[in-house]
């Protein structure tokens, strides 16, 4: 079956279209939107999917409109944006490092954002907005430190992963120290935040994350061609006219901002950035970074995990970070077993 087609525009521009990858992106978008509608209707006051759709287009009754637009829609939008940001950020890190383990979870960006949030909680007893800003600052500082320590006439994937693992261990120790310095109330608040949760999210978290994604996602997709060439090696990329270090720095900065902002909005939700790009690649069977598919896969994974956290355990609602951690851990174990049977590890 032929999956690549050349499409020629009236202006003479020829574009290669990967039909399978496009189909996967569309199906993942439909899955994410379907799960979102079901999730909006889930809660103590259940709302049928048809009523949810009517309410979203402004035809619901006042009670349903309040529940949907003020209470549940912001949470779902944060989930979609956080999942998309983590999926895209993970794909960028794995592509730049040319290593499937080169994700924010392994490199320590989530731990760095956690350190920033814990500093605000423990030392300053900050508000929710201040905690989010602290997490964003912590993620940016950690990303800058990893890049600076990994730099040696350029940044290479193997060195980036090793430096990230070392920084992650240091920051994890700092987080443990901060928890020991906190009182019982701040410690409980910090632990809840560190689990990763969408509870209580409102429009104050939606707008900053939406604005950041509106700027960064088109910027990243516009540089996807250079990123694809960089996977062939720096020398080949230079020969093809790619300004390697400039593109690498730009995309790593975008990945750090996406990951840090997602962590600031929902806490360190684990394994989405690690698994979404790999699942997307397995579905598309396409070489390259698969940025659009990874973005959609991350959004679908997170809203589906949030739906499972609310429906699969009866009256007990788990934080979404617990569900993604379990699912991601199972996937990682399956991947290791598969790679071992194939003789690659």
If you write DSSP's letter for every residue of 34-80 in order, what string do you get? HHHHHHHT-SSS---HHHHHHHHTT-S-HHHHIIIIIIIHHHHHHHH
Query: How many CA atoms lie within 13 Å of 12's alpha carbon, on the beta-carbon side?
Result: 0
For residue 315 the two structure tokens come to: 């009256």
Comparing 40-54, 137-151, 185-199, the range with the smallest average pLDDT is 185-199
The pLDDT tens digits for 296-309 are: 999 999 999 999 88
Residue whose token pair is 């070392």: 166
Between 124 and 81, the more confident residue is: 81
pLDDT at 14: 47
pLDDT of residue 25: 93
Categorize the per-residue pLDDT at 237 as very low, low, confident or very high, splitting at 50, 70 and 90.
low
pLDDT (tens digit, 9 = 90+) per residue, 45-97?
888 888 888 888 888 788 888 888 888 899 999 999 999 999 999 999 888 88
pLDDT in tens, 324-341: 888 878 877 887 787 677
93 Cβ neighbours under 8 A, 6+ residues apart: 102, 103, 104, 107, 252, 255, 273
pLDDT > 90 in the chain, percent = 23
For 186, 281, 298, 305, 325, the CA distances from 269, given in Å and listed in that order, are 20, 21, 11, 11, 8
- Residue-level pLDDT at 238: 66
pLDDT at 1: 45
Asked whether 289 and 91 are in contact (CB, 8 A), the reply is yes
For range 118-124, the mean pLDDT: 85
**pLDDT value, residue 78:** 94
How far is the C-alpha of 320 from the C-alpha of 162, rounded, in Å? 29
Strand partners, 17: 5
Contact present, 200 and 127 (Cβ < 8 Å): no
Question: What is the pTM for the complete model shown?
Answer: 0.88
Is 54 exposed, middle or buried, given 0-12, 13-18 or 19+ CB atoms closer than 10 A? middle
State the pLDDT at residue 143: 87
CA distances to 31, 52, 118, 155, 216 from 34, in Å: 5, 11, 35, 40, 25
Alpha carbons within 13 angstroms on the beta-carbon side of residue 78 total 29
Amino acid 42: pLDDT: 85
Contacts of 298 (CB under 8 A, 6+ apart): 83, 84, 85, 86, 87, 88, 90, 272, 273, 276
Give the pLDDT band of residue 10 (cuts 50, 70, 90): low
Of 51-65, 86-100, 195-209, 233-247, where does mean pLDDT reach its minimum? 233-247
pLDDT bin (cut points 50, 70, 90) of residue 156 is: low
Going by C-alpha positions, the residue among 331, 197, 281 that lies closest to residue 24 is 281
């Amino acid at each position: 079956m032929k999956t690549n087609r050349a499409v020629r525009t009236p202006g003479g521009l020829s574009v290669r279209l990967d039909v399978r990858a496009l189909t996967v992106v569309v199906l993942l978008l439909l899955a994410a939107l379907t799960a979102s509608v079901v999730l909006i209707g889930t809660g103590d006051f259940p709302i049928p999917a048809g009523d949810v759709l009517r309410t979203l287009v402004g035809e619901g009754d006042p009670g349903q409109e309040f529940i949907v637009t003020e209470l549940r829609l912001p949470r779902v939008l944060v989930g979609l944006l956080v999942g998309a940001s983590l999926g895209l950020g993970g794909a960028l890190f794995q592509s730049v490092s040319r290593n499937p383990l080169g994700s924010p979870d392994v490199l320590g960006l989530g731990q760095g954002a956690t350190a920033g949030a814990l500093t605000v909680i423990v030392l300053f007893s900050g508000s929710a907005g201040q905690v989010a800003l602290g997490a964003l600052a912590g993620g940016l500082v950690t990303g800058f430190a990893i890049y600076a320590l990994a730099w040696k006439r350029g940044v290479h994937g193997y060195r980036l992963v090793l430096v990230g693992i070392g920084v992650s261990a240091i920051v994890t120790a700092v987080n443990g120290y901060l928890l020991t310095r906190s009182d019982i109330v701040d410690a409980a608040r910090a632990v809840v935040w560190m689990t990763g949760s969408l509870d209580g999210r409102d429009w104050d978290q939606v707008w900053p994350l939406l604005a950041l994604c509106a700027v960064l996602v088109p910027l990243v997709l516009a540089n996807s061609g250079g990123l694809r060439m960089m996977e062939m090696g720096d020398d080949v990329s230079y020969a093809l006219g790619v300004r390697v270090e400039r593109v690498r720095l730009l995309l790593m900065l975008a990945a750090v901002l996406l990951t840090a902002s997602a962590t600031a909005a929902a806490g360190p939700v684990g394994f989405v950035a690690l698994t979404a790009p790999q699942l997307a690649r397995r579905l598309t069977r396409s070489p390259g970074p698969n940025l659009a598919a990874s973005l959609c896969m991350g959004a679908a994974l997170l809203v589906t995990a949030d739906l499972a956290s609310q429906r699969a355990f009866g009256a007990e609602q788990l934080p979404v970070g617990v569900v993604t951690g379990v699912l991601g851990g199972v996937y990682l174990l399956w991947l290791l077993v598969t790679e071992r049977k194939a003789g690659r590890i």
